[in-house]
Amino acid sequence: MKIKIIILFIISLHAFLLSKLIFFPYPELFVYPYLVKNGFLPYKQIFDQHLPSLLMSHFNFYDLGLRTPESARLFLIGSVTLTHFLLYFVHKKVSGKASILPIFIYLVVQPLFEGYILWLDTFLAPILLLGFYFSYKVIHERKDVDAILAGLFLGLAIFFKQMMIPLSVVSIVYIYLKTKSRKIAAIATLTALIPLFLSLAWILSKGIFNEFFYWTFIFNFEIYSRMAVKMPTLSQVVRVLLWYIPSIYVILKNLGKINFKLIAMFLLLPLADVIARFEFVHLQPTIPFVALLSAMFFSSKFKLKRVFSIAMIFVIAIWLFRFYETNINGKTYFFDSETIETSQKVSNLTVENDRIFILGTQPIVYPLSGRLPAGNLFTVNLPWNMKVAQRSILDGLKKDNPKIVVRDKEASIDGQKIVDFSSDINSFINSNYVKIDQIGNNEILKLKK
């Protein structure tokens, strides 16, 4: 009973902290589902390189209730809470011991690595824990039902992000090598393919396969991988190593054991997403495994434990103090007063069927104002997206002149101003629109008479 109370306290504390931290829900979580619900087709009208998942599928985050910043924060807290319970359960299963140490470590680590961000990586944390748990079970118990569930959760991981393909493939191959059962491997493979088959069937039914293939494969390899590269700073490297070295050390000391080989896969293979574009949030799917392995490190008798533990406690104490000092303010990005006022202004200047266009300003203005993009085309204002999509979007603007344009000329991505890498669109706006108002950095422009 005592340990249950402590577990509930840790989870409640984590939820409380996330409710007070700054909150950064990716705008795509609101914009893409909104556009799909209004008839936009992924890849053909929404230019994006992700798999449909719950972003752009017919049934999406909008249907699940993710429509407001408050509901989005609940999604973040819910995912983290589920991860806590799963982490405790998985650690108990793997180690044979009931311990609060893994979930305490998760409480400490998760917020530090941009845990206040809500993105697809947030949902991958509990999914990968479940994928690991059932992969572990099927290797040790060889039950068909575990093979079904292992495959299903590995498939769901791919459904959210195609960068999880290597992990899913290697895990199923490993399951086969350890069970020596073609039946179990076949079951895991087939169930892993279910989410992908359903997505593909939907894509084919919409007649968008060619566009899907271009954006999710060709674009990712030819454009995104070259233009979107973002390297970590020295400070980020040090902070990652601080947490990951003990985990890797535990794996290396136990590499001969089946369990640790499997944990190594779930810790290291998802890092492929970080290599493409380094951001702390992309580490979130691996944080539960860092907590799992760190708990093993701190409860071990390794020679390096004492020295490394002292160093970690010293650095983390400073890091935690600075992190919470800076980030506890309850602010929600993209739902600030200027964006909301801008959305209300756009709504007042237009009627329901009027089309608008946004350049530089946060695209959350579309759902907040209840209006749709001119030309029935949309892409997030990113250099790599605009390199491919600018011509199509410009043609759409020329054919379907938006009644109102909202522009932020100072907005930038990776140090590049959006108006600069969208220069053709910006020139079109300058030639055909006149400013009638300004809210913060957001210019409100209307079509010249």
Tens-digit pLDDT string for the chain (449 aa): 688 899 999 999 999 999 999 999 999 999 999 999 999 999 999 999 999 999 999 899 999 999 999 999 999 999 999 999 999 999 999 888 888 999 999 999 999 999 999 999 999 999 999 999 999 999 999 999 999 999 999 999 999 999 999 999 999 999 999 999 999 999 999 999 999 999 999 999 999 999 999 999 999 999 998 898 888 999 899 889 888 988 998 898 888 887 889 999 999 999 988 887 899 999 999 999 999 999 988 887 777 777 777 878 888 888 999 999 999 988 999 999 999 999 999 999 999 999 999 999 999 999 999 999 999 999 999 999 999 999 999 999 999 999 999 999 999 998 899 999 999 999 999 999 999 999 999 999 999 87
How many Cβ atoms sit within 10 Å of the Cβ of residue 106?
A: 27
Look at strands 412-413 and 416-417 and give their pairing: antiparallel
pTM of the model: 0.94
Residue 90 has which token pair? 């998985």
Residue 142 has which token pair? 């060889």
Greatest Cα-to-Cα distance within the chain, rounded to the nearest angstrom? 78
> Residue 1's pLDDT is what?
66
Q: Measured between alpha carbons, how far is 89 from 91 in angstroms, rounded to an integer? A: 6
Instruction: Produce one character per residue of 53-76: b if its CB has 16 or more CB atoms within 10 Å, e if not.
Output: bbbbbeebbbeeebbebeebbbbb
> Residue 297's pLDDT is what?
87
**CA nearest 43: which of 157, 207, 178?**
207
- Adjacency order of strands within the sheet including 404-407: 372-373, 355-359, 404-407, 442-447, 433-439
Tell me how far apart the terminal alpha carbons of the chain are, to the nearest angstrom. 74
Q: Position 394: which residue type?
A: L
| Residue length of the chain | 449
Q: Is the dihedral of CA 381, 383, 384, 388 positive or negative?
A: positive
Contact 215, 48 (CB under 8 A): yes
For the chain, give every domain's residue range: 2-327, 337-447
Q: Measured between alpha carbons, how far is 360 from 256 in angstroms, rounded to an integer? A: 53
